[in-house]
């Protein structure tokens, strides 16, 4: 379940945005909101995720406290489940997030804590954040460090029989610069260092005799999910990946307000590489249009391309009795490309600020034995109860921000 939800979260996340403990814009007074996310794909995965949160802002400089509770309910009969000799499963994950920030002159330090629990996975994460104006409000540097401690188990298996640990250190530095009244740019560098158990505890990796796939192809037979079990060797080793992984990402964002059409446009680019030999490029373009005093329409499209990890193989073909020291059937480590497009409408009235977002995603796996493509529908919506006046004050705080506002922060 954790892997499926991670994929969903990645799919709906903005590229190149700097992470903050609280919202990107200052919070005015007390805001309570409810949100939901629905995800469905052609690989028989269904996710429904309701969320409630409350936040209170103390000033216009970003001082605030917040709390959020999320439930993720998933039902899956995907190839990841079927290839592991299961037909379907359902699970529920609970997550709690707490955050606080306090403005101190040019500085905005903050801290956050996250607790996540599901039947076979427990995660604790604590983070410290900071922002500082570099001379003027038009230049803002930000940083974040997060420590995550995870415990991995198996459903129905006592912890003294199977229990593994994973420690993740995450760091991020960003610089946001306002260039005139209508243009904003941001650069972000992030580093993630993971150490511990990164395998999938339920997954075994099929092994085949040397030349199996070529021999079947010569007979006009394609090896895949429907017949791989007929040709695999009797050995069923569990997945084995390195115990350490270092991830680097460099992202750039440009945001421009076009007065003639009363709209803003955004362009993001992200370069990713890691110690497992993977490289990835992600490009995203977005726009936002204020249709009226109450209606805002926005949309974006993204294209992602990645190479496979060094030890990834479509099929692990071996000599008799030999088992590769590194082996995986995780499709997220294969070569692939993905496209994602979304449209979002927001409505602000006297005591309502509601939004609805609909997105489509298409993934093409270039080397995955069990699946070559996947389509997904993602729907999000919610209401935070803010007034119309509060909505239109957003983006006018003293500190420079990098969100997809219709009007970026004005230069001083």
Which tens digits make up the pLDDT trace of 12-61? Answer: 443 333 333 333 566 778 888 999 999 999 988 999 999 999 999 998 88
In a domain, 19, yes or no: yes
Query: What's the rounded mean pLDDT across residues 104-112?
Result: 94
* Domain hosting residue 166, numbered range: 2-393
H or E element at residue 72: strand 64-76
Q: Is the pLDDT of residue 97 over 60?
A: yes
Domain count, the chain: 1
For the question of whether the overall pTM of this predicted structure is more than 0.85, the answer is yes
Q: Is the pLDDT of residue 353 over 70?
A: yes
E-assigned strand segments in 275-394: 279-290, 295-306, 316-318, 336-348, 353-365, 373-383
In a domain, 398, yes or no: no
| Exposure string over 322-361, b if 16+ CB within 10 A, otherwise e | eeeebbbbbbbbbbbebebebebbbbbeeeebbbebbbeb
Query: What's the rounded mean pLDDT across residues 196-211?
Result: 92
Residue 377's domain is classified under what CATH number? 2.40.160.40
Q: How far is the C-alpha of 200 from the C-alpha of 166, rounded, in Å?
A: 12
Query: What's the rounded mean pLDDT across residues 143-172?
Result: 94
| Helix/strand/coil for 228 | helix
In a domain, 402, yes or no: no
* Residue 159, pLDDT score: 85
Q: Which two tokens stand for residue 301?
A: 């499209």
Provide φ and ψ at 81, rounded to 5°: -80, -50
Q: Is the pLDDT of residue 10 over 70?
A: no
Query: What's the rounded mean pLDDT across residues 177-185?
Result: 91
Q: How far is the C-alpha of 245 from the C-alpha of 251, rounded, in Å?
A: 20
CB 361 within 8 A of CB 378: yes
In a domain, 409, yes or no: no
Dihedral-angle region of residue 44 (phi above 0 means left; psi in -120 to 50 means alpha; beta otherwise): left
In a domain, 403, yes or no: no
**Bridge partners (DSSP) listed for residue 207:** 316
In a domain, 249, yes or no: yes
pLDDT digits (tens, 9 = 90+) for 307-325: 999 999 999 999 877 899 9
Q: How far is the C-alpha of 103 from the C-alpha of 112, rounded, in Å?
A: 15
Q: How far is the C-alpha of 219 from the C-alpha of 68, rounded, in Å?
A: 56
In a domain, 263, yes or no: yes
Stretch among 12-26, 232-246, 267-281, 284-298 having the lowest mean pLDDT: 12-26
SS3 letters across 134-176: CCCCCEEEEEEEEEEEEEECCCCCCCCCCCEEEEEEEEEEEEE
């Amino acid at each position: 379940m954790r892997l499926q939800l991670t994929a969903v979260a990645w799919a709906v996340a903005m590229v190149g945005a700097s992470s903050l403990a609280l919202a990107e814009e200052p919070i005015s007074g007390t805001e309570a909101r409810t949100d939901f996310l629905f995800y469905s794909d052609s690989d028989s995965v269904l996710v429904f995720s309701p969320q409630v949160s409350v936040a209170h802002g103390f000033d216009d400089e970003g001082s605030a406290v917040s709390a959020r509770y999320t439930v993720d309910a998933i039902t899956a009969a995907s190839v990841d489940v079927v290839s592991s000799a299961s037909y379907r499963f359902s699970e529920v994950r609970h997550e709690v997030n707490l955050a606080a920030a306090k403005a101190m002159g040019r500085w905005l330090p903050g801290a956050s804590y996250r607790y996540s629990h599901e039947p076979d996975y427990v995660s604790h994460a604590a983070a410290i954040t900071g922002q500082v104006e570099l001379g003027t409000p038009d230049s803002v540097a930000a940083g974040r460090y997060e420590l995550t401690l995870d415990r991995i188990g198996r459903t129905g298996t006592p912890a003294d029989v199977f229990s593994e640990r994973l420690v993740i250190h995450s760091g991020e530095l960003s610089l946001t610069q306002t260039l005139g009244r209508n243009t904003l740019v941001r650069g972000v560098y992030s580093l993630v260092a993971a150490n511990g158990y990164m395998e999938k505890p339920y997954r075994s990796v099929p092994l085949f005799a040397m030349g199996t796939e070529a021999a079947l192809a010569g007979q006009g037979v394609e090896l895949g999910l429907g017949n791989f079990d007929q040709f695999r060797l009797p050995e069923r080793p569990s997945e084995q990946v390195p115990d350490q992984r270092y991830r680097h990402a460099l992202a750039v964002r440009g945001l421009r307000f076009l007065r003639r059409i009363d709209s803003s446009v955004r362009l993001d680019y992200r370069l990713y590489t890691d110690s497992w030999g993977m490289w990835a490029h992600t490009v995203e373009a977005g726009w936002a249009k204020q249709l009226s005093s109450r209606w805002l329409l926005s949309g974006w499209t993204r294209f992602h391309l990645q190479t496979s990890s060094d030890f990834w193989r479509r099929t692990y073909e071996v000599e008799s009795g030999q088992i590769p020291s590194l082996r995986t059937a995780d499709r997220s480590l294969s070569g692939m490309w993905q496209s994602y497009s979304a449209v979002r409408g927001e409505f602000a009235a006297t005591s309502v600020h509601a939004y609805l977002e609909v997105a489509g995603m298409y993934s093409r796996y270039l080397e995955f034995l069990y699946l070559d493509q996947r389509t997904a529908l993602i729907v999000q919506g919610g209401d935070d109860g803010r007034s119309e006046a509060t909505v239109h004050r957003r983006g006018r705080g003293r500190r420079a921000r990098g969100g997809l506002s219709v009007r970026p922060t004005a230069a001083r």
